Amino acid sequence: MPRSVRRDLGVAVALTWLISLVHLTVRPGGLLDLSVYRAGSQRLLDGASIYAQPYGDLPFTYPPFAALVMVPLAVLPTVLAELALPLLSACALVFVWHRCGVATRWVLLVAPASALLEPVWMTQHFGQINLLLLALVLGDLVGPSSRWRGVLAGVAAGIKLTPLIFLGHLVVTRQWRAAGVMAASFGATVLVPIVLLPGDGVRFWTSVLPDAERIGAPWYSGNQSLMGVLARLGGEAAWVRPAWFFLSVAVVLLALWLAHALHESGDLLGGVGATGLASLLASPVSWSHHWVWCIPLGVVLVRRCGPVAGLLWVALFVAAPHLWMPSGHDVELAWTWQHLAGDTYVWVGLLWLALVASSYRHGRDVDRDVRAPRERQEHRREATRS
């Protein structure tokens, strides 16, 4: 990578980090999830159960491998940890834009500006790891293939289970070796904690994971998933979970078909984006800050449907209509017209699938625009040799 590119990306990281720190300074009550991560890892260091938090504290809900990975955050002094995680997320955000094929001169602008996107600033506000997981997946699955493809996606799934859907992505796109590598990588994240932390290593899979109440009521407005929509409509009605199951299966199958089609056409980012969108829609809980996938999805939308569609997409994720709806204390169960605005991420996610599938079905040639830069270079070299 040329020195000028490294310099520009470094400037983009610094600006993005600075904006995040300013936000955390002027908006009180931030980095709540970071404190949960640190507490879980600290209990691990103290020899206590990761999942036995004191009464009233938010629970650690991730697999035990995540607690192992987050030990450095627990060891660091609080102030340094509160600087380090936003910096890592800023690096991840810049990397995501770069991996999406955006020119470096534009990354300098769009990376800091994307702090206005609700999923991004909410991720930084809570001290979440969504941007890091997104960077792991895109860094692994978008761009030239290698013998190590699948490792980082497997690690991401070991930290938070939802990236497991990319094992299905690798299967439907016939990347057999990468699928095996990802499965082995994820398996290692399961086995290592069982060896090092035999109690919690088993407890997570047998009692913590099945306990849906640990993550709160699914109808909270911040849950922008199919389950969130259905739960806000039906509460605890018996039809909600069966309806969610069948709708989720249908959406995942549609998204994986689209991922296969886009991958075969050379649109690696579109294929991975479709699978990432499926994970958001089908997961029982997808908090709005999980929707950092709006960045690669927006890039794909611009390339396939034009700048107007992209501008509308950005405007929606800046406005975050669900934040303006009444929420909390189960008031979502009384929503009427509020469903139209309060469930917007889900509606536009479904619309994205329809628009991108339509652009593919109509045979729009986006090969020149969609291929990641390294993939385009590799394609040209192969064409020259032939």
What pLDDT digit, counting tens, does each position of 292-303 carry?
999 999 999 999
Cα distance between residue 317 and residue 290, in whole Å: 12
Residue 78, classed as helix, strand or coil, is helix
In this structure, the answer to whether residues 237 and 353 fall within a common structural domain is yes
pLDDT in tens, 10-31: 999 999 999 999 999 998 888 9
The answer to whether position 187 is within a domain reads no
If asked whether residues 49 and 136 sit together in one domain, one would say yes
Residues facing residue 287 across a β-bridge: 223
Distance CA 167, CA 194 (A): 22
User: How confident is the prediction for the chain on average, in pLDDT?
Assistant: 90
User: How confident is the model over 170-222, as pLDDT tens digits?
Assistant: 999 999 999 999 999 999 999 999 999 888 989 999 888 877 666 678 999 99
Collapse the DSSP code of 223 into the 3-class scheme (helix H, G, I; strand E, B; otherwise coil) and give the result.
strand
Enter the DSSP assignment of 143.
S
d(CA 45, CA 134): 28
Do 142 and 35 belong to one domain? yes
- 103 and 220 fall within a common domain: no
Out of 116, 147, 178, a domain closes at: 147
At residue 229, does pLDDT exceed 90? Answer: yes
173 inside domain? no
For residue 115, is pLDDT > 90? Answer: yes
Residue 345 and residue 265 share a domain:
yes
State the amino acid at position 132 in one-letter form. L
Write a three-state SS string for 289-317. HHHHHHHHHHHHHHHHHCHHHHHHHHHHH
Total of domains in the chain: 2
- Identify whether residues 136 and 274 lie together within a single domain: no
- The answer, yes or no, to whether residue 369 has pLDDT greater than 50, is no
Same-domain pairing of 110 and 249: no
* Amino acid 7: pLDDT: 85
- Same domain as 273, residue 134: no
Task: Provide mean pLDDT across the span 219-241.
Answer: 95
pLDDT band at 364 (very low <50, low <70, confident <90, very high): low
Do both 242 and 369 map to the same domain? yes
Structural domain includes residue 157: no
**Separation CA 343–CA 330 (nearest Å):** 15
- Please identify, among 147, 169, 189, the residue that sits at the C-terminal boundary of a domain: 147
Domain annotation covers residue 160: no
pLDDT at 217: 83
For the chain, percent of residues with pLDDT exceeding 70: 92
Shared domain for 59 and 139, answered yes or no, is yes
Q: Report if residue 191 sits inside a domain.
A: no
Q: State what percent of residues in the chain have pLDDT above 90.
A: 78
- Statement: residue 227 has pLDDT above 60: yes
What's the rounded Cα separation, in Å, for the pair 241 and 237?
8
Full domain range(s) for residue 369: 216-386
- Summarised one tens digit per residue, pLDDT across range 139-167 is 999 988 889 999 999 999 999 999 999 99
Same-domain status, 93 and 232: no
Quick one: which H or E segment has residue 282? helix 268-282
In a domain, 237, yes or no: yes
CA atoms of 286 and 307, how far apart (whole Å)? 27
Judged against a pLDDT cut of 70, whether residue 384 lies above it is answered with: no
Token pair 């018996």 is at which residue? 238
Tell me if 103 sits within 8 A of 228, measured CB to CB: no
Which pLDDT belongs to residue 63?
Answer: 95
Residue 351 confidence (pLDDT) above 90: yes
Q: Are residues 23 and 116 in the same domain?
A: yes
| pLDDT tier at 363, thresholds 50, 70, 90 | low
| pLDDT band at residue 335 under the 50/70/90 scheme | very high
Domain boundary among 126, 147, 168: 147
- Other C-beta atoms closer than 10 Å to the C-beta of 192 total 15
* Section 266-283 average pLDDT: 97
pLDDT classification of 306: cutoffs 50, 70, 90: very high
User: pLDDT category, 372, cuts 50, 70, 90?
Assistant: very low
Task: With respect to residue 343, please indicate whether it lies within any of the assigned structural domains.
Answer: yes
Distance CA 219, CA 269 (A): 31
Does residue 183 fall inside a structural domain?
no
Tokens of 361: 């079905």
What is the separation of C-alpha 379 from the centre of its chain, rounded to a whole number of angstroms? 28
